[in-house]
Structure formats: C-alpha cells, structure tokens
Amino acid sequence: NEGNEYFREKDYKKAVVAYTEALKKKCEDTELNAVLHTNRGAAQFYLGNYRSALGDAIQAKKLKPTHLKAIIRGALCHMELKNFSEAIAWCEEGLRIDSKEKKLVEMRAKADKFKLEGGPFWRSERISPPLGQGRAVVGIDLLCERNIKLVLEPSNEEEEISDGLAELSIDGFHSDNATGAKVHLDADGNLHWPVLFLYPEHEQTDFIAAFHENSRFIDHLMVMFAELPPWDLEQKYLPSNIELYFEDEERAEMYKLNPEHTLLQVLQHQRYFVKAGTPRVLAFVKRSAFSEKYFSGKKVRRL
C-alpha cells in the first residue's frame, strides 16, 4: 500500500524501496508477489532503469505466466533496450492470452518495423526550453551555463568499455545510446542524463537512463542496491559500503565522489569531462583487496 501511494505521487524511487521491502517479507501468496514485482518494475521503468524493470517483469511472469501487465512491461523494456526480437516474442506471448490487447498489437507492429530496418536511425534532435518559454532551440549554451564540459569523440578504449552505449550528436545537444535514452530537458528546466556505473572488480555495469541532475548519488545507490546483484557473491555491495570515483585521464588522477553530491555538482567539477554524451562513474567496495590494488600507485583526490 505504501508503494502504491508513492507510485500515485510519482515518487518512483520511494515506491521501488517500498515494493522491495514488501518482497523481503517472503509472503507465500504467489499472486501478491507477482503484483509486487510488476509494480516495482513499473516504478523502475519510469525511473529509466529498463534492465531492472525487465528483471522484475521476468520474475512476475515466472510467478504468474498469464500476468498480462508483466508481459506488457517486459515487452516495453525490450523495446527501450532495442531488443526487437525479444520484444516480438513477449508480444506474441501476451497476444496468445488476449489477442485484442491494443498495446501489444501496436508494439508488435512497431517492433517488426524496427527489426526490419535494423532499428531506428540515430536521430538529430534539439533540446527545447521549458514549456511556456517559447520554442527557441537551446544547444551547447545550455551546458556552458552549467559549466559542464564535453569530449565529443571517445577513445577506442572507452568505446570498448561502454560497448557502444552512447553516441553524441551536436545539433542543439543530445546523447543517444543503445537503450534509446538521451539527455533531455524537463518542463522545470532541469536536465536528465543517461549515466553509466562501472564495477571494475566484476566487469559489470549499471545504466540509469534518466538521472535527474539534482538527484544525489546516494539516492540512486539505495535503489540500485536495495537487493544485492546476482554477481555480488560475497554480498559486499551495500550502499554504505560503496565508493564512487571518476578518472581524469589527462592527469592520470582519480577523484573520489561524495555520495551526498548531486550529479550536477559532479559534472560541474573542473576536471570532469562528459564523454560521448554519457557521464560515467566507477564503483568500488571500501577497503577491498581489489580496490587497494587498483589504486596502488594512483593519485587520488577528494571532491
């Protein structure tokens, strides 16, 4: 009930936490657990966390194979992730349950079209100012006002690490990546960024598709690690046990972030450069053997 209330208020982060707490109760009601996973997946979806949302849709479908809402959510996630073949499969599964479900019929047609075309072409779009302030196009000036610095062409190494997650197009300004996420300006004049988290110890990544520039890193960590990830076999990645860094490659220095800082505060740092349109941070476990070895011989500064 608490999660549903937060969801109605569009406080999706708190909704995720509430649904997670409900799931931790390990209720034996399969129907309820399917609903909890579906609801948490919906909240994650609206936060732009499409992979987490898909994980919840999969769990909900395992618990209740005919749960149409979970199937629709899973198909939507695959669409956002550009997994068009998987989206088609999920749509077909849902249409076997209800052949007239409008959302699935439309999504199936769209997925067929994108698959045939090899996916939508990277678009050149412009960020417009908040509604009610005219339609003048804003571009790089928007970032200059915020003291945010860009690197337009990533190195080959970064392209390998990000696995093609982001491409930058300057016509106005946006980043567009494999999930379809892009930096965008909301009606209140705030930017929402796609942000990549790298976990060097486990060669894993997390991708947040819409990180509000005034959100704190700790807020996202609380949501991302409300449940331990399957690759964290030692159960070390707790929000209070994670340290975040960014690398200044030009000076071969690492900067340790304060998790209480907002994304904008980090992006405005004089040595932070946004590469390929997607901010990225590295995450380590405090005082772990891996982090001590990783930082051995490196100069580390604090923000």
Pairing of strands 191-199, 280-285: parallel
Instruction: Check residue 2 and give its pLDDT.
Output: 95
d(Cα 65, Cα 59) in Å, to the nearest integer?
A: 10
Instruction: Check residue 293 and give its pLDDT.
Output: 92
Instruction: Check residue 169 and give its pLDDT.
Output: 32
Taking the CA atoms of the chain, what radius of gyration do you get in angstroms?
A: 20
CB 272 within 8 A of CB 290: no
Three-state secondary structure readout of 136-152: CCECHHHHHHCCCEEEC
For residue 123, count other CB atoms closer than 10 A to its CB.
10
d(Cα 276, Cα 162) in Å, to the nearest integer?
A: 10
Instruction: Check residue 3 and give its pLDDT.
Output: 94
d(Cα 228, Cα 239) in Å, to the nearest integer?
A: 10
User: Exposure pattern of 180-201 as b/e (b: 16+ CB <10 Å)?
Assistant: bbbbbbeeeeebbbbbbbbbeb
Phi, then psi, of 241 in degrees rounded to 5: -110, 10
* Cα 8 off chain centre by: 21
Instruction: Check residue 238 and give its pLDDT.
Output: 92
Pairing of strands 273-275, 191-199: unpaired
Instruction: Check residue 208 and give its pLDDT.
Output: 85
Tokens representing residue 61 in the block: 């479908």
For each of the domains in the chain, give its residue range(s) and CATH number, in order of start.
1-118 (1.25.40.10), 177-302 (3.10.20.90)
* Cα 191 off chain centre by: 14
pLDDT in tens, the chain (303 residues): 999 999 999 899 999 999 999 999 989 999 999 999 999 999 999 888 888 899 999 999 999 999 999 999 999 998 888 888 888 999 999 999 998 898 899 898 888 877 765 543 322 233 333 322 322 233 567 778 888 988 764 444 333 333 333 333 323 333 334 445 678 887 778 888 889 899 999 888 888 888 889 999 998 888 888 777 878 889 899 999 999 999 988 888 999 999 999 999 999 999 999 887 889 999 999 999 999 999 988 899 987
Instruction: Check residue 156 and give its pLDDT.
Output: 42
Instruction: Check residue 16 and give its pLDDT.
Output: 93
